[in-house]
Structure 1
Amino acid sequence: MTPEDRSLNDLMADIKQFVDDRDWSVFHRPTALAISAAIETGELLELFQWRSDAEVETSLQSDKYRQALS
């Protein structure tokens, strides 16, 4: 099967298996996921805080800044 042939359901099944193999399901509860999403979003927003659009555009030329965004 090529990557193009895989469906979203196939990918979701793979992810579920990955999580189950590592006993991570205890951490994948709505509250924990919401908190984690908010924390990660905050970290991303810090890279833009107090910067003008022009400053962000300039920073995007930097490999270090782009790495931090990724």
Structure 2
Amino acid sequence: MKKFNKVIKELIQFRDERDWKQFHDSKNLALAISIEAAELNEIFLWKTGDEVENINKDRLKEELSDILSYAFLLAEKHNLDVFDIISEKIQKNALKYPVDKAKGTAKKYNEL
């Protein structure tokens, strides 16, 4: 938790030193996440088999960092605890995807 709080403080400091908070409304943060996710997808585009698992780790780190940074800033903006909301989602998904029905299949919950 200390590392997470440190990262959030660093993100906010970085943003505030550049006076970028004015641009970080919910819509723009959500759009930034989507755009960065598309850039992550681009790393895997047209790759097959082993190529997918052997992608450039530096590019992967860059794009994941961008996505996570914007997601953390959006959560912080709305006073959401990232760990709590992930835990809540895991609990919801456990109900949607019970082990006895979902184990070993990629089917959506309404197809099980």
With the length of structure 1 as denominator, give the TM-score of the two structures.
0.59
Superposed structure 1 runs of 4+ greater than 6 Å apart: none
Q: Distance in 2 between matches of 1:66 and 1:13?
A: 26
Matched pairs, number = 60
Distance across 1 between alignment mates of 2:59 and 2:8 = 27
Gaps of 5+ in 1: 1-5
Cα–Cα, structure 1 residues 51 and 32, in superposed 2: closer, same or farther, change >3 Å? same
CA shift, 1:13, in A, is: 4.4
Give the structure, 1 or 2, with the largest relative contact order (CA under 8 Å, sep 6 or more). 2
Residue 57 of structure 2: aligned partner: 66
Matched residue SS, 1:69: helix
The residue that corresponds to 1:41 in the other structure is 37
2:50 is matched with: 54
Correspondent of 2:23 among 27, 35, 39: 27
Percent identity of the aligned residues? 37
Cα 1:25–1:50 shift into 2, 3 Å: same
Unaligned runs of 5+ in 2: 62-112
SS of the residue aligned with 2:46? coil
Compute the RMSD of aligned alpha carbons: 2.5
What is the rounded CA distance, in whole Å, between the counterparts of 2:6 and 2:23 in structure 1?
A: 22
